[in-house]
Structures are given as C-alpha cells and as structure tokens.
Structure 1
C-alpha cells in the first residue's frame, strides 16, 4: 500500500509541477503592476480556500516581483501543521534541534533526508530532533498539496507548516518562525541547526567536532561558513539584489552562510528579541548577522574548511572531515550516503 501511495503522490506532484511551469509562463505576460501575493500572511486555514478564487493574473507573486516588499515581523503567523510535543520525552531536551527549510512540494527530498543525514537516531549518545519547516504552496495548488502534506505528516510527524506563501522572499520569515517554534516548544534545546534541504550533512562531525557534547556551555555560540567584508548587490537582475531602501550601508556585518549554520539555544532567544526591533530584510543569513551586530557579537570560526558553500566531488575520507556541503541534490545524496556510512580504516583520524 505504501508503494501505491507513493506512486500516487509522485503522479500528483508531477501534475502540479507541469501546472506550475504553465503558470510561470503565463505569469510572464501578466501586467507587472498587479499587486503581489508574495508576502500576504494568512490568519487561519479558512483563508487558504479563499485564495483559490483569485484571478489568475495575480499569480505573479514569484515571477514578477520588481521590488522587495515589506516583511511583516513580528506577526502572528499560524502554525498550520505543528508538533508541540516534539521535544518532549523521558530522555530530556534535545542536544540538537534540526530545522530543515523545505518547500511544500519537496516530498521526495524530505524522504531522502529522513533516510540519510536527517535520521534522528544516527548519532548515538545525543538526542536529535528534526522538523521540516515549510510555508504554503501557491494558492492555485493548495488543494492538491494539502492532502498529500497531511498524509506525509501523519506518517512521519515532522512537518512544521507556517501560514504564509513559501517563496524565496519569505525565507527570513520561515527561519524566524522556526526559531519561534523552538522558543515556544523546545526552549531547552542546547543547539539549533538551521539548514537547507539541498545539502550533505555529516551529523557525526557536526556533533563531535563542532558542537562537542562534553564541552562547556557556549551561550553566544553561532558558527558556519563565515562571510566577511561582503556588500549588497544593487543590480535588480540578481537573486540577492538589495535595494538601498532596505539596506543603505555598503557592507554587511559578518554572517554565516544560509545553507547551514548552528547556534546555541540561548542565542536563539536573544536573536528573536532583537529581530523584533530591526527592519527585516529578505536575505535571512544577512539578517541574522545584523541581529548579531546589534548584540555586539560575531560568528565563531568552525574547524577550517568544514562548511562548504559549493558542491564538492564525493570522496569518502574528505567528506568525513566536513560538516556540510551545499548544492547536493537528492539523487546524489542517496548515491553517496551508502558508501559514506561504511568504515574506511585507511582514512586518517580527525
């Protein structure tokens, strides 16, 4: 039955993907002056149904966004799929809470992560909990994906869906709401990992070499690949465009690259407090850096070369000395994981 169900899921997703492609093509011809739906928050599940009746010409929310809109934060975005007891259990609070950023349609990618680096029982001796953080699909596809997500969540119990559209420009909101969930339902987690879904993660290296379970408490700890002396891109043609109206300065403060960074639970609470006092920008990693700057903090360097922001050809011993590699797609992850788990006695000790 599971096999049949997965075939049905994939069939539905392929239909959705085709419809999405058609939608994006239509969007190219839509009047660019139409108000964008990119940042419309949803107060309740009932509002999802209402969006299905909007004219097609309004579905330019991702195709044509000529200028970044104002992000609403703080704002009472609802948790539509939630697991408030995720961190409860007889063994106590998690050592590491993984918040994996994912899109609603990424069913296969989430399953691959569950079977590889997202396995909560992979690293013995510490408690790890995993949640996939996602927003809402485009309104046109809400009905198609809603039942699939409900079924996936019933089977795995690890989806955290927040009530705003899942778009690149809403990524900062997605991260902040994931951190808010931690503050509300998992405040005693020692560390929190914010990670994208297109990465290879080495949980053993991350836990033992970076986080060091037997080490002293580090209340202001945050690490990852650290960007320094970088500045905003002012050309609207680029994905990381930053208009002066949102950020006037010529350089960003030091920050950890968005594909994956880890921070202490106590620092999460401080960042959330500061975030409510700053102008929120849609580059989430830069925004976290701005929060750190406001607190007089900077990221702590990780073991040299352990967080890679670009793909790297797989080599068993090399990958065992890394915490994270960005740009690893689902099929590649599944291909290398089996070999990665095998013991290689030739590899030098860390």
Structure 2
C-alpha cells in the first residue's frame, strides 16, 4: 500500500519500458503528443505520510449507503456497441448549467455525438445529477433533455456541494452497473475544457497491462495536502482523523481505469465517504485499495500559473484546462482554426 523508493523506481522503469514498446503510431498520432512534457506519466510517491494504519482498510460491514436508484437511468448510453472510454461530467439542474451543457456538446465534446445527438462511438459522455431536492419542473426538464440527447443520469441523493464525494461514488456505481465493459473513465467538471484527442492519446500511453488499477491526473501542489476542518472543504475529524491526506490529484479532470472504477464501486459501502471529492477518489481510496496513482502536469489546475494560456492549450500542451463559460466557444473556435488565443487562464480559486 505504501510506496517506498524501491517500488517507485520499479514502477517507473516498467512504465518507461511499456512506453518504449507501445504499438507503432502514425506520424499524426506522434505529432499530437510532441508538445507534452516527458515522461508522459510519473508515479505518485508519499513524502513522509504513510496511509497504512487501520483506518485505511475496508470495514467488515457496510457503513456507507450508496444509492442505486436512478429516476433517469441512462441505460442506452452504454448499450449496443459498448464504449471503451466514458467522460463523466457532474452537473446541476439550473439554467446556467443547462446552457453550459449545450455548449459542451457543441464544443469540446462535439465529436462524440452524431448529428442527431446520439452517441455510438467508442468514447462517450454522460452528465450526472442527484434528484433529492429537485423541483418537479427541474426533473421534467432533465427528462426532456435526456430524451433529446440521451446523455443524462439522475440518481436518488441530495445534490449538494458537500455531497460531491457521494456523487462520484454514485457515478462509479452506475458505471459498474450499466457500463461494466468500459476501460477508462475520464471525469471532467463543468468548467473544464478537454482536448479530447490529446487526452485519449495520452491515456493510451498508460501502462494498463502492468497496472490495470490506476488513477491519473495533475498532482496536488502540496506534498502534505491538509485535511481542513473549516470552510467549504471542511472534513470532520470523526470521518477522517488525520491532519493530512495521501497525495492526490486535482479534481477538475482525472482519469480512472475501468478495473479501478469497478473496485471502488464495490468498496465504497465499506468505507466512510470523505467529503473532499478529489482527495477521496484519487488519494484516500487508492491508498485503501492499492490503486496506483500516476500524474502529469498537462491536466487542468485550479492554481494560477502565469504561463498557462489558452494558446498553449490550442498547441496541444495541455489535455484539459479550466475555462470561463463565455470563453468556451472562443477556445473551441481557436481549436478548429488552429489559431492562438492569447488569454492567460485566470485564477479559479
């Protein structure tokens, strides 16, 4: 569970070997990756914190209730020709997010849809919601949206910011139940813009054959990420008794392999739901379940970086970035025309 220096060295060597012996790529595919920093993935290692106490073990009986009822089940999303890759996007039922979902379908996710808005390719997208607390009009609106686009799933839980960890647990549970053959799940927030082609190409470089259970994204800047007790990201000591988390990946976008998704879905009922989504899904649960954490700096970050611009996104230096709603269409237009968009990505914290 705890990765020592020898283990990290072995994993890094294996990763390099897999990368060197990957299948032959066309010049176009190689060019797509050429602006990314190398190595294309690194193994996360702890800096002094050992997530190896009794807490980091599954409980013998169920202690967390993970809803499995879906008022809008989205069963058609993975029917027929099963997708290999599934983009999951947590969303909420308000007018702003409705407009943003339309924009996402028409911009970075547009190649995943046919002209009739159906998804039949090996990569697809689904938006997730909780139903508790929704007004009748809002639920009917989601049903109408589902009928048109076929990319909506609604589960029976209270959809609040504090319940984001539960939302991802329900999402993984849905994937395990209705998309059991998916090989890769890519989580993206509503305010995240994904370079889909580059993301898919980068994910193919991961050493799935040697590390089938993995998470992958941008590593949190802190070597000792704190467990806060106050504020929006507060975690009760009764739920998580440590002052710091295992090192984890930032939440705007991250990758989870199919085997890791299914293992987590089986395990969530037997572990406390820690209300800090990215720390819980990409740090705590991987520590509990011995899931390998890989990272690369090309994923979206909420931290301000003065040299991170939308132009560099267009130039295939990032697989994802945070984006202001009104800039999403402009960034997509820049992608289509391959023209630089000289805007510094603002601070989202």
| TM-score in terms of structure 2 length | 0.69
Give 2:109's aligned residue: 118
| Closer/same/farther in 2, CA of residues 149 and 247 from structure 1, 3 Å limit | same
Among candidates 93, 99, 111, match of residue 88 of structure 2: 99
Further displaced range: 288-297 or 316-325: 316-325
Do the aligned partners of 2:188 and 2:253 also contact (CA within 8 Å) in 1?
Answer: yes
Alignment of 1:307-322 (within 5 A): 307-310=300-303, 312-315=308-311, 320-322=316-318
Asked if residue 264 in structure 1 is aligned to residue 257 in structure 2, the reply is yes
Measure the CA separation in 2 of the matches of 1:202 and 1:258.
Answer: 16
Alignment of 1:123-272 (within 5 A): 127-136=122-131, 138-139=133-134, 142-212=135-205, 216=209, 218-227=211-220, 228-234=223-229, 236=230, 238-272=231-265
Cα deviation, residue 187, structure 1: 1.0
| Closer/same/farther in 2, CA of residues 317 and 309 from structure 1, 3 Å limit | closer
Measure the CA separation in 1 of the matches of 2:112 and 2:227.
Answer: 40
Give 1:85's aligned residue: 76
Structure 1 unaligned residues grouped into runs of 5+: 1-71, 346-350
Measure the CA separation in 2 of the matches of 1:111 and 1:250.
Answer: 41
Cα deviation, residue 319, structure 1: 5.1
| Closer/same/farther in 2, CA of residues 120 and 160 from structure 1, 3 Å limit | farther
How many residues are aligned here?
A: 266
Measure the CA separation in 1 of the matches of 2:129 and 2:93.
Answer: 6
DSSP-derived class of the 1:86 partner: helix
DSSP-derived class of the 2:147 partner: helix
DSSP-derived class of the 1:249 partner: coil
Measure the CA separation in 1 of the matches of 2:239 and 2:325.
Answer: 35
| Closer/same/farther in 2, CA of residues 138 and 204 from structure 1, 3 Å limit | same
Do the aligned partners of 2:64 and 2:270 also contact (CA within 8 Å) in 1?
Answer: no
Measure the CA separation in 2 of the matches of 1:129 and 1:223.
Answer: 19
Structure of higher RCO (CA pairs closer than 8 Å, 6+ residues apart)? 2
DSSP-derived class of the 1:85 partner: helix
Among candidates 321, 332, 335, match of residue 330 of structure 2: 335
Do the aligned partners of 2:67 and 2:156 also contact (CA within 8 Å) in 1?
Answer: no
Cα deviation, residue 77, structure 1: 4.0
| Closer/same/farther in 2, CA of residues 213 and 107 from structure 1, 3 Å limit | same
Measure the CA separation in 2 of the matches of 1:329 and 1:99.
Answer: 19
| Closer/same/farther in 2, CA of residues 331 and 137 from structure 1, 3 Å limit | farther
RMSD in angstroms over aligned alpha carbons? 2.8
For 1:298-320, what per-residue CA distance to the aligned partner results, in whole angstroms no more than 9, with x for missing partners?
41122x44443346442156652
| Closer/same/farther in 2, CA of residues 75 and 263 from structure 1, 3 Å limit | closer
DSSP-derived class of the 2:334 partner: helix
Structure 2 unaligned residues grouped into runs of 5+: 1-62, 114-119, 341-349
| Closer/same/farther in 2, CA of residues 260 and 317 from structure 1, 3 Å limit | closer
Do the aligned partners of 1:226 and 1:256 also contact (CA within 8 Å) in 2?
Answer: yes
Further displaced range: 291-300 or 253-262: 291-300
DSSP-derived class of the 2:244 partner: coil
Measure the CA separation in 2 of the matches of 1:154 and 1:126.
Answer: 19
Measure the CA separation in 1 of the matches of 2:144 and 2:334.
Answer: 31
For 1:126-181, what per-residue CA distance to the aligned partner results, in whole angstroms no more than 9, with x for missing partners?
71111100113745xx0231222222111111110111221101111211111111
Measure the CA separation in 1 of the matches of 2:335 and 2:312.
Answer: 6
